[in-house]
């Protein structure tokens, strides 16, 4: 009996490159065995087999692009067991809540051997950035696949330190000189988590392409925090928690409605803003393998209890590596909270194609003048980074004033 194994639901992703075919004709596979590996600019995912049997024919090759429903291989085997199609399991995902703006196509490579190199599209792009010839790189990955670290090693072996005013690297930016630190003391190369390898280029792209400005302010959350603690005490008995982030999400939605520019994206032609009439709030979740950004969809239609429960479930899924592609897509505004760790302010990087991101650090008790005397108040630092092409300084100040007024009077959050 012949069985077609297809690409399962992979969210909104389409035309995803096949970077590795994990099986060969004649191999025996079981249900859930990985058969191919796909890699987009957001995630690397293994496609599991939905059936068991012997591989009769492989329908894709490395470099082919597939979408949901694409036939990957043909299995044969009398009475082969089958399982319902499941979502592709993400091997690691970059912290990006919405699909990134399309990158310019890489310049064509004239060396025919480059095109035959066993490397993923992102690794090829990285090699072009460093001007590394893939035909001269030995891959250390599965089946000789060239990895990002192989490119880095090859670059270090040939790079010459660049003096000020010397030859520039990609985008006209002089590369950082390579230093042999072992001359000064013991060193060790420590492998970066895969998620950081994937998210790094996206963060670098945003930092280079967006004129960042950060506006800092403080909100008086004394009364709000008292109410939050009351809600949290009741929530514990029902198996969830209520954190300050739930209130900030609720307040942010109200502020975004009043200042729609912060909920927009710059149109590809650069002459317009795309105004969004939906409110999906991404939040940075700290995990053992790096930062992930799950998204609370339609936050404007949810109350504090529902938002709190969703925050808890998405955070748990992030820590356990169980987030799916759709869980991290479609954000219109992002919040990065360091409140449980510390700090007074920072400059969060805008998660393009969004135009703003709100950073939170630890709240503190401070003396505040009420017109007659100084009184102790619990103050929450706010760090709002924004794309200066879409938002100017005056509008950023108005947004934070709106936000601090909402947080300062919790009754306004119920309007």
The helix/strand/coil state of 331 is coil
The structure tokens listed for 20 are 């590795």
* Whole-number Å distance between alpha carbons of 312 and 73: 39
| Average confidence score pLDDT of the chain | 83
Burial of 11 (0-12, 13-18, 19+ CB in 10 A): buried
Report the greatest alpha carbon distance in the chain.
Answer: 87
In the chain, the N- to C-terminal Cα span, in Å, equals: 62
Distance CA 93, CA 40 (A): 10
Q: Catalytic positions, please?
A: 388
Structural domains present in the chain:
2-93 (2.40.50.100), 112-199 (4.10.320.10), 213-414 (3.30.559.10)
Candidates 22, 44, 37; CA nearest to 92 is: 44
pLDDT the model gives residue 223: 96
Per-residue pLDDT tens for 133-181? Answer: 888 888 887 667 788 778 878 876 664 443 333 334 455 677 788 888 9
pTM of the entire predicted model: 0.63
Residues in the chain where the model's pLDDT stays below 70: 40-44, 78-117, 120-122, 125, 129, 142-143, 156-172, 415
Q: How far apart are CA 200 and CA 196, in angstroms?
A: 6
Read off the pLDDT of residues 81-91 as tens digits, 9 standing for 90 and up.
455 545 555 54
In a 13 Å sphere around the CA of 285, the CA atoms on its Cβ side amount to 31
The confidence score (pLDDT) of residue 299 equals 97
């Amino acid at each position: 009996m012949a069985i077609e194994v297809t690409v399962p639901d992979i969210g909104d992703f389409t035309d995803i490159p096949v970077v590795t075919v994990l099986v060969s004709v004649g191999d025996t596979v079981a249900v859930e065995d990985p058969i191919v590996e796909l890699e987009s600019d957001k995630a690397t995912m293994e496609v599991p087999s939905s059936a068991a049997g012997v591989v009769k024919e492989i329908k894709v090759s490395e470099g082919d692009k597939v979408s949901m429903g694409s036939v990957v291989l043909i299995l044969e085997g009398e009475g082969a067991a089958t399982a319902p199609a499941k979502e592709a399991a993400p091997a690691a995902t970059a912290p990006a809540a919405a699909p990134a703006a399309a990158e310019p196509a890489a310049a064509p490579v004239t060396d025919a051997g480059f095109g035959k190199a066993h490397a993923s599209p992102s690794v090829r792009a990285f090699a072009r950035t460093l001007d590394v010839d893939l035909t001269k790189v030995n891959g250390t990955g599965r089946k000789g696949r060239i990895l990002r670290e192989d490119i880095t090693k090859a670059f270090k072996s040939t790079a010459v330190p660049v003096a000020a005013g010397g030859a520039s690297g990609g985008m006209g930016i002089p590369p950082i000189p390579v230093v042999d630190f072992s001359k000064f003391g013991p060193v060790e190369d420590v492998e970066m988590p895969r998620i950081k390898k994937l998210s790094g280029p996206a963060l670098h792209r945003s930092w280079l392409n967006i004129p960042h400005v950060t506006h800092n302010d403080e909100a008086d959350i004394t009364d709000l925090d008292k109410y939050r603690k009351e809600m949290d005490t009741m929530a514990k008995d029902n198996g969830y928690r209520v954190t300050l982030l739930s209130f900030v999400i609720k307040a942010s939605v109200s502020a975004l409605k009043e200042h729609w520019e912060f909920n927009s994206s710059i149109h590809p032609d650069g002459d317009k803003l795309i105004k969004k009439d939906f409110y999906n709030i991404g939040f940075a979740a700290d995990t053992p393998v790096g930062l992930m950004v799950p998204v609370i969809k339609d936050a404007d239609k949810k109350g504090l209890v529902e938002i709190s429960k969703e925050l808890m479930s998405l955070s748990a899924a992030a820590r356990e590596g169980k987030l799916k592609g759709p869980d991290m897509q479609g954000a219109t505004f992002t919040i990065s909270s360091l409140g449980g760790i510390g700090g007074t302010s920072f400059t969060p990087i805008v998660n393009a194609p969004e135009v703003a991101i709100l950073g939170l650090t630890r709240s503190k008790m401070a003396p505040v003048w009420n017109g007659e005397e100084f009184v102790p108040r619990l103050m929450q630092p706010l760090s709002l980074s924004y794309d200066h092409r879409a938002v100017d300084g005056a509008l950023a100040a108005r947004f934070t004033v709106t936000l601090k007024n909402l947080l300062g009077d919790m009754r306004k959050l119920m309007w």
